[in-house]
């Protein structure tokens, strides 16, 4: 066991026996916050002004039949033009069916776009094509170091998991016209190390869970490495690109959230 794992276990054991632990296990993991953001996208065609997108991340489905009905209803009520998923759908390959059922609940007109996360690779023994191919039945388009037009005049690129050093931004943007507005999906904030020579109208990431357990004496961000320990949640400017880090929906390691409510992010894009 690593030192970090040992300390996490000690914190979890201590917190679990307190009222705060009860709150973190029973209430906060289900208390989804809808965060609304207006984002100016450089060179966005005027006809796309007002386009809406919902970002969700880190469901961490384990195959226990949890279809996140509250999440499904909340997203459906928002009526987004597109849904953007930033990785870690499953913790176990048996949960792919649950993921399909969740995504089938939504039919946004501009589609559902996704990238894989580190747990998706672990759950499929790095055979990520299993997940990519099966989610096609729910009309989910995975972008794995590649890009596509989200709408005519707006491109979306996606990279494989940066926290596992699988991202290739150059390959992801290779087919995008140089002057075209573009959005990048990446599972983790570790993508910032690949943004020094290129910019995007918006970069979306997850992975951190907003720290997941944030106490006066302990911040869960400490358990992450590199940029993921720095860019924990919210909006940042990174080398000229706006980076938004979503807190995600599920949990890992400990089945609790404290001071890091699960998040659905609703974006309205405007021409800059």
Yes or no: say if 64 and 169 are a contact pair by the CB < 8 Å rule: no
pLDDT value of position 200: 98
Q: Which of 264, 203, 195, 262 is nearest to 39 (CA)?
A: 203
CB within 8 Å of 62: residues ≥ 6 apart: 90, 91, 92, 95
Tokens standing for residue 98: 């649950």
Q: DSSP label at 257? A: -
Quickly tell me which residue has 């992450």 as its tokens.
224
Number of C-beta neighbours around residue 200 at 10 A? 28
pLDDT value of position 10: 53
pLDDT value of position 27: 77
Local structure of 212: helix, strand or coil: coil
Helix (H) or strand (E) run with residue 117 in it: none
Tell me, rounded to whole angstroms, the distance of Cα 115 from its chain centroid: 8
Between the alpha carbon of residue 112 and those of residues 109, 142, 212, the distances in Å are 9, 9, 26
- Each of the 272 residues of the chain gets a pLDDT tens digit; together they read 455 555 555 555 555 556 666 667 777 889 999 999 999 999 999 999 999 999 999 999 998 887 799 999 999 999 999 999 999 999 999 999 999 999 999 999 999 999 999 999 999 999 999 999 999 999 999 999 999 999 999 999 999 999 999 999 999 999 999 899 999 999 999 999 999 999 999 999 999 999 998 887 667 776 677 899 999 999 999 999 999 999 999 998 888 999 999 999 999 999 98
Quickly tell me which residue has 């059922």 as its tokens.
101
Query: In DSSP terms, which residues pair with 149 in a beta bridge?
Result: 155
pLDDT value of position 222: 64
Query: How many residues can be counted in the chain?
Result: 272
Q: Which of 203, 259, 208 is nearest to 229 (CA)?
A: 208
Rg (CA), the chain: 18
Tokens standing for residue 213: 């357990």
Max Cα separation, the chain? 56
**DSSP alpha helices (H): ranges in 106-145?**
118-123, 129-134
CB within 8 Å of 98: residues ≥ 6 apart: 61, 63, 65, 66, 67
Tell me, rounded to whole angstroms, the distance of Cα 161 from its chain centroid: 11
Task: Report the C-alpha gap between 269 and 45 in whole angstroms.
Answer: 11
pTM higher than 0.85 = yes
Q: DSSP label at 199? A: -
pLDDT value of position 64: 85
Q: Which of 68, 58, 265, 41 is nearest to 161 (CA)?
A: 58
């Amino acid at each position: 066991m690593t030192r970090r794992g040992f300390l996490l276990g000690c914190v979890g054991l201590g917190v679990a026996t307190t009222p705060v632990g009860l709150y973190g296990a029973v209430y906060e993991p289900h208390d989804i916050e809808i965060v609304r953001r207006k984002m100016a996208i450089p060179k966005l065609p005027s006809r796309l002004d007002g386009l809406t997108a919902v970002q969700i991340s880190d469901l961490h489905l384990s195959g226990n039949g949890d279809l996140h009905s509250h999440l499904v209803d909340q997203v459906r009520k928002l009526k987004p033009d597109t849904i953007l998923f930033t990785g870690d759908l499953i913790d176990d390959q048996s949960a792919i069916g649950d993921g399909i059922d969740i995504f089938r609940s939504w039919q946004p007109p501009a589609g559902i776009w996704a990238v894989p996360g580190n747990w998706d690779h672990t759950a499929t023994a790095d055979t990520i094509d299993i997940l990519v191919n099966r989610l096609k039945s729910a009309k989910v388009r995975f972008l794995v170091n590649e890009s596509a037009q989200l709408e005519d005049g707006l491109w979306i690129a996606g990279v494989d998991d940066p926290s596992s050093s699988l991202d290739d931004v150059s390959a992801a943007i290779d087919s995008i016209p140089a002057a075209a507005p573009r959005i990048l999906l990446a599972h983790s904030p570790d993508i910032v190390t690949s943004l020094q020579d290129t910019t995007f109208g918006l970069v979306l990431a997850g992975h951190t869970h907003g720290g997941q357990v944030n106490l006066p004496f302990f911040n869960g961000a400490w358990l992450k490495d590199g940029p993921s320990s720095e860019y924990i949640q919210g909006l940042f400017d990174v080398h000229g690109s706006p980076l938004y880090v979503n807190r995600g929906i599920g949990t890992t390691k400990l089945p609790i959230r404290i001071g890091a409510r699960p998040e659905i992010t609703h974006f309205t894009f405007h021409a800059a």
